[in-house]
């Protein structure tokens, strides 16, 4: 078997989760496990979180009905599962069958809810758009729409939420504007005695730096997996990355001064070097834009990736690294006192760790190391 693996530390996942719980003073948590737990493996992540006894998640959050059904069918948890994507009419039977909670997020969906005759009541959460500008009922009309929903016989409002666009930025003024709009809607609903169930808003950025947004439950995603959502937040929760991408050196060869390696000849050896090939490439999520920029941690030291990243293979200059065929190499993550984690990748690729861990492809087996 190819030795390229994503090592997942469920111990670190639990550590991060409990650190978040502590930060929010043991408030209920909706663990966001969409996109296969940001590439870490949803079922294993849920299994680990479910082992935490009384501290375990109150809800789980996913993007899609398919993800929710997979989780429900696994029987790993009895917790409610919320999907963030707007519910489609043809999906409602499955929502009911698998006891999954859809998000209601636009006026046009009112008709779906109204005309659907069901024997059991459908629980929904309502997304209020306070400025994210993606999904949700506009905060200006939210009061009216929520009131209409509250009058639909077959529907129970189990919760109401909003989502921040900039809670991970240092300047919190827009997040505070969103929060103010949300509170205004909640105030109107309360004054009319309209029951909205569980109120939630805080993603990782808000959990770190906006305690006013905690309400009844918080919704961490990226922080569970050990990363701060941006480089601007506080680090007021200690986090440990959960995924480490590892492989082995499979061949070693001498490259003479002046010779090139790999496609496109973007790397020329400046002196005689020893080049190691490692069986990972862009088909595995090792982004091609890391060409000549990536790093590896091997034998306690850092080596440089050289030449174009190819579909299945990359090269490193290991001249000074005392490696041999079979030496373990860390391609993303921390080892010893060396670090080349998803934030280091993100700086090169002009992205965020979310995209990095999600993009480690299915071809890379996830192995659970503790």
Ligand X SMILES: Cc1ncc(COP(=O)(O)O)c(C=O)c1O
Contact residues toward ligand X (CB under 6 A) are 32, 61, 84, 163, 203-204, 219-223, 229
In terms of CB distance, is 149 or 201 closer to ligand X? Answer: 201
* DSSP state at residue 252: E
Question: Contact 30/17 with Cβ under 8 angstroms?
Answer: no
* Annotated catalytic residue 347: no
Measured from each CB, the residue nearest to ligand X is 221
End-to-end CA distance of the chain: 21
Q: What minimum distance in Å lies between the beta carbon of 72 and ligand X?
A: 19
Q: Are 67 and 41 in contact (CB under 8 A)?
A: no
Residue appearing with tokens 């996913």: 62
**Distances from the Cα of 19 to the Cαs of 55, 139, 238, 240, 281, in angstroms?**
11, 32, 7, 10, 34
Nearer to ligand X, 229 or 294 (CB): 229
CB of 223 to ligand X, least distance (A): 6
| Active site (annotated) includes residue 263 | yes
Q: In angstroms, give the least distance from the CB of 10 to ligand X.
A: 18
- From the candidates 34, 123, 172, 244, give the one annotated as an active-site residue: 34
- Token code pair at residue 70: 């997979």
- Tell me whether residue 233 or residue 319 sits nearer to ligand X (CB atom): 233
> Catalytic residue among 115, 170, 263, 362, which?
263
What whole-number distance in Å separates Cα of residue 1 and Cα of residue 35? Answer: 26
Confirm if 209 and 167 have CB atoms less than 8 A apart.
yes
**With respect to ligand X, which residue has the nearer C-beta, 31 or 48?**
31
Altogether, the residues listed in the chain come to a count of 370
Give the nearer residue to ligand X in terms of CB position, either 205 or 294.
205
CA distance 262 to 11: 39
**Rounded to the nearest whole angstrom, what is the least distance from the CB of residue 249 to ligand X in the complex?**
34
CB contact at 8 A, 185 and 142: yes
32 or 239, CB closer to ligand X? 32
Rounded-to-integer distance, Cα 158 and Cα 160, Å: 7
Q: Closest approach of Cβ 203 to ligand X, in Å? A: 3
Nearer to ligand X, 57 or 221 (CB): 221
Tokens 């440990």 -> residue: 240
CA dist 233 and 106 (Å) reads: 31
Burial zone of 348 (CB within 10 Å; 0-12 exposed, 13-18 middle, 19+ buried): middle
CB of 32 to ligand X, least distance (A): 4
Cβ-count burial 4-26 (b if 16+ within 10 Å, e if not) = bbbbbbbebbbbbbebbbebbee
CB of 204 to ligand X, least distance (A): 3
Element (H, E) at 193: none
Active centre residues (catalytic): 34, 263
């Amino acid at each position: 078997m190819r030795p390229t693996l994503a090592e997942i530390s469920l111990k670190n996942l639990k550590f991060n989760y409990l650190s978040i719980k502590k930060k929010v003073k043991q408030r209920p948590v909706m663990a966001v496990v969409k996109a296969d737990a940001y590439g870490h493996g949803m079922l294993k992540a849920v299994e680990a979180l479910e082992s935490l006894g009384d501290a375990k998640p109150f809800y789980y959050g996913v993007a899609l009905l398919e993800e929710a059904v997979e989780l429900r069918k696994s029987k790993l948890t009895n917790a409610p599962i919320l999907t963030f994507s707007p519910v489609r009419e043809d999906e409602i039977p499955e929502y009911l069958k698998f006891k999954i909670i859809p998000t209601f997020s636009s006026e046009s969906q009112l008709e779906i809810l109204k005309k659907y005759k069901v024997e059991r009541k459908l629980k929904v959460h309502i997304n209020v758009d306070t400025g994210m500008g993606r999904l949700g009922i506009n905060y200006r009309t939210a009061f009216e729409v929520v009131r209409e929903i509250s009058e639909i016989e077959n529907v129970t409002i189990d919760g109401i939420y909003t989502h921040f666009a900039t809670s991970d930025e240092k300047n919190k003024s827009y997040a505070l504007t969103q929060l103010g709009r949300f509170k205004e809607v909640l105030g109107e609903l309360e004054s009319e005695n309209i029951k909205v169930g569980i109120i939630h808003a805080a993603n990782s950025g808000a959990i770190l730096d906006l305690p006013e947004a905690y309400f009844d439950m918080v919704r961490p995603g990226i922080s569970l997996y050990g990363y701060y959502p941006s480089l601007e937040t506080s680090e007021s929760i200690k986090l440990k990355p959960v995924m480490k991408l590892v492989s082995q050196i499979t061949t070693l060869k001498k490259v003479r001064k002046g010779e090139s390696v790999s496609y496109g000849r973007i790397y020329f050896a400046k002196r005689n070097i020893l080049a190691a090939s490692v069986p990972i490439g862009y088909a595995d999520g090792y982004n091609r834009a890391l060409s000549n920029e990536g790093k590896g941690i091997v034998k306690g030291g850092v080596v440089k990736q050289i030449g174009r990243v190819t579909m299945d293979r990359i090269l490193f200059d290991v001249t000074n690294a005392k490696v041999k065929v079979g030496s373990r190499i860390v391609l993303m993550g921390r080892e010893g006192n060396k670090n080349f984690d998803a934030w280091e990748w993100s700086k090169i690729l002009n992205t965020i760790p979310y995209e990095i861990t999600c993009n480690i492809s299915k071809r890379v087996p996830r192995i659970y190391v503790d």
